[in-house]
Structure 1
Amino acid sequence: MIVSNLSHSSCARSTSVLCSSTGDGFLEATSNRTLSPTGHLVVAVCLGVIGTFGFLNNLLVLVLFCRYKLLRSPINLLLINISISDLLVCVLGTPFSFAASTQGRWLIGEHGCVWYGFANTLFGIVSLISLAVLSYERYSTMLGPTEADSTNYRKVALGVAVSWVYSLVWTVPPLFGWSQYGPEGPGTTCSVNWTAKTTNNISYIICLFVFCLLVPFMVIVFCYGKLLYAIKQVSGVNRALGRKREQRVLVMVIIMVVCYLFCWLPYGIMALLATFGPPGLVTPEASITPSVLAKTSTVINPVIYIFMNKQFYRCFRALLKGGAPERGSSIKSTSRVNKQSMRVLRRTNDNNVTIVVASTDPATTTPLPNRLGGPPSSDTGKPAKVALVAHYTE
């Protein structure tokens, strides 16, 4: 328990986090968490920069989406969902932790701490699940039997709804007794209570780590890995074009995975150390750093998923110039294969690329490589298969 001689009068004169609430439990939770004034200042500066750029980046995404109709495709709706959740963090979360860091103490009391912890956890998980849904949507579109319908928002709207419902499923329980929300780090932010050693709390932490951090990461790696493998297969027809596309997707996948780990893995490790390690293992300095890194996702996500998308980038340039978006280049790779003898296996159109993977009709006996202008095949009479890059746009 807190020291008995801590009086209300001394609290009135103090700037310690001890005086941020009148609730004994809240005071006890923050009593041993302090940072130096310089430490609080550094955290405040970082949060100020993150909050400002996160707000501007995500607001710009919404402005572009509202202004240019060509961006209103189903898959872009998932990108907008990510931007909305990140924007809500910048509006409803970061300003309070920024203000608390400037004063060295939590400013809106125990109930405000619970609300802050719930809201930021909710929006953070929505963003993570949306990234996983986005990767699955791209993967399923690539391997789908038909061309994606650019006017069908039903599937993507379901994905958006799932991201919010799934997040609520994991963020509401602490409000009703399965774990709890409370002060985090030096007491200037709030989140799930990582330090309680009860079975109730530990079980929730494990579930949260597995289902809200590890599972989305595995989905992202699997789906983008499959997508990259499919593009690598396609590169056999037009090697220069295929290699360019393959390298670009590989770089994108690496960036996505590295940034995901950069933003969220330290937070997950810190939570597990605080949960299973001895008391005091995670210092205030060590605990606040992963929290700040997690908030940088609100800045990084728009850059990776939006502004590295050439369609959004052209609209951004058009917004600056006050004109219409430039049309992307178009490169077609065709063959002399009779279209009636082909069966489309996979077709995808994801803003930047349209890929058709087809096979010849089994009844066709003409050596397929000859018909593509390549060396003759010794497998005349056998069903030949070929991957075609039918259309590539930027």
Structure 2
Amino acid sequence: MIVSNVSLSGCAGVNSALCAEAGEGHQAGVAYPTTLTPTGNLIVAVCLGFIGTFGLTNNLLVLVLFCRFKMLRSPINLLLINISISDLLVCVLGTPFSFAASTQGRWLIGDGGCVWYGFANSLFGIVSLISLAVLSYERYSTMMAPTEADSSNYRKISLGIALSWAYSLFWTLPPLFGWSHYGPEGPGTTCSVNWTSKTANNISYIICLFVFCLIVPFFAIVFCYGKLLCAIRQVSGINTSVSRKREQRVLYMVVIMVICYLLCWLPYGIMALLATFGPPGLVTPEASIIPSVLAKTSTVINPVIYVFMNKQFYRCFQALLRCEAPRPGSSLKSSSKALRGAAAVGPRRTNDFLFMVASLGQPAVTLPQLGASFEPTIDFTKAPSSDNKPVIVSLVAQVDG
């Protein structure tokens, strides 16, 4: 995790002898008390208890839905499961220890436990971040691919999942071997990377971690979803009401994802940079605990944004509550459809019902009256080209029943 390690930053100019004693206690593995007041520890414990409980519940529910309903076992949904597993591991292997430390007012499992906690939570947090970036790229590449994605091909997604774990290990193992190190952070009830050391060794690691594990995933997410939104806006000439509705929904999702990403992780980065490059004591232990709590809220928010706002998962969730089969609908099919580019060669023979073929730039054709459950799937069969040739767009929908 990226959070400010300033457990001793408040010592500067206050009591150097006390600070030295605390530092010696840390080296000896002594559990020294937190700098928060009892009320502050109680507030942090309540927040962590809430986050741990709901994060565990939400992510377990995602795994239950995935195991219960075969229709969810598509390649791209495996990335959602990977995110849920990493968030679940944070709730199981991280949050309980910081919660217990907050209730007792001190770190409870010693120096070895502190190093393990810092490494494990950094690993799982970065896995989640990289998986979100891989997910955005996969959605973008699937939408823009010239052919429909093969729903039985798990190789590409498996490589993406393996990449997220390998990439995270690449950046979280170095502190165990001397490039920076893990230690107590904030008020002393959690552990993370040491952000306060001014050595070149430590500063170089912090800069790399900030750039490659926070900034790069963020720009990947913004770029991919931005391009996806632009592609959706290109179909506004086909059916204004339908395309506007789809555009607004995608824009709404993108804005929520970006805001939540920044809300959870940007305070980590800012606090880390202030603690690293600012003067001693600039970041107080009381202030440094806020980014730590905010980052852990991602374990609660991720399942809600990426899973329960997904129509596939939501319908299966409703079916699970009602103990019945999920209601069939076009969104189950259209969630894996794409805005694809290839020359149109006539109507495709699929299990879908072909309603209309129209070309961009031509007068709009009136759609036949359809039931309320109809939701079109917009399928580009030709990307915009420089020769201004008409682009064929097929509007396909699956008949419920």
TM over 0.5: yes
Q: Partners in 2 of 1:169 and 1:330 — Cα distance?
A: 38
Contact residue 352 and residue 392 of structure 1 kept, 8 A: no
Deviation at 1:384, TM superposition (A): 2.2
Q: Partners in 1 of 2:277 and 2:331 — Cα distance?
A: 55
User: Is 1:322 the equivalent of 2:323?
Assistant: yes
Q: Which amino acid aligns with 2:130?
A: I
Cα pair distance change 1:382/1:293, threshold 3 Å: closer
Deviation at 1:328, TM superposition (A): 1.6
Match of 2:335 in 1: 351
Match of 1:201 in 2: 202
Match of 1:335 in 2: none
Which structure's CA Rg is the greater one?
Answer: 1
Deviation at 1:351, TM superposition (A): 2.0
Aligned length: 353
Deviation at 1:330, TM superposition (A): 7.0
Cα pair distance change 1:83/1:24, threshold 3 Å: same
Match of 2:211 in 1: 210
TM-score when scaled to structure 2?
Answer: 0.82
Match of 2:390 in 1: 384
Secondary structure of 1:302's partner? helix
Aligned-pair RMSD on alpha carbons?
A: 2.8
Deviation at 1:391, TM superposition (A): 3.9
Q: Partners in 2 of 1:367 and 1:57 — Cα distance?
A: 44
Secondary structure of 2:234's partner? helix
Match of 2:13 in 1: none
Match of 2:281 in 1: 280
Cα pair distance change 1:360/1:148, threshold 3 Å: closer
Deviation at 1:239, TM superposition (A): 1.4
Secondary structure of 1:390's partner? strand
Deviation at 1:297, TM superposition (A): 0.1
Cα pair distance change 1:108/1:370, threshold 3 Å: closer
Match of 1:240 in 2: 241
Secondary structure of 1:182's partner? strand
Contact residue 131 and residue 164 of structure 2 kept, 8 A: yes
Cα pair distance change 1:367/1:173, threshold 3 Å: closer
Match of 1:110 in 2: 111
1:10-49 alignment runs, 5 A limit: 23-24=26-27, 34-49=35-50
Secondary structure of 2:195's partner? coil
Match of 1:129 in 2: 130
Match of 1:257 in 2: 258
Match of 2:102 in 1: 101
Where relative contact order (Cα < 8 A, 6+ residues apart) is larger, the structure is 2
Secondary structure of 1:251's partner? helix
1:73-222 alignment runs, 5 A limit: 73-222=74-223
Task: Name stretches of at least 5 consecutive residues in structure 2 with no aligned partner.
Answer: 1-15, 346-357, 367-386
Cα pair distance change 1:353/1:148, threshold 3 Å: closer
Cα pair distance change 1:147/1:273, threshold 3 Å: same
Deviation at 1:114, TM superposition (A): 0.1
Q: Which amino acid aligns with 2:197?
A: A
Q: Partners in 2 of 1:133 and 1:223 — Cα distance?
A: 10
Q: Partners in 2 of 1:77 and 1:292 — Cα distance?
A: 27
Deviation at 1:145, TM superposition (A): 1.6
Identity of aligned residues (%): 72
TM-score when scaled to structure 1?
Answer: 0.83
Please list the CA deviations of residues 21-49 of structure 1 after superposition, one character each: whole Å capped at 9, or x if unmatched: 9543766xx97961111000000000000
Secondary structure of 2:208's partner? helix
Contact residue 34 and residue 106 of structure 2 kept, 8 A: no
Match of 2:376 in 1: none
Please list the CA deviations of residues 210-238 of structure 1 after superposition, one character each: whole Å capped at 9, or x if unmatched: 00000000000000000000111123212
Contact residue 308 and residue 314 of structure 2 kept, 8 A: yes
Contact residue 178 and residue 201 of structure 1 kept, 8 A: yes
Match of 1:298 in 2: 299
Deviation at 1:177, TM superposition (A): 0.2
Cα pair distance change 1:25/1:231, threshold 3 Å: farther
Task: Name stretches of at least 5 consecutive residues in structure 1 with no aligned partner.
Answer: 7-17, 332-348, 375-380
Secondary structure of 1:183's partner? strand
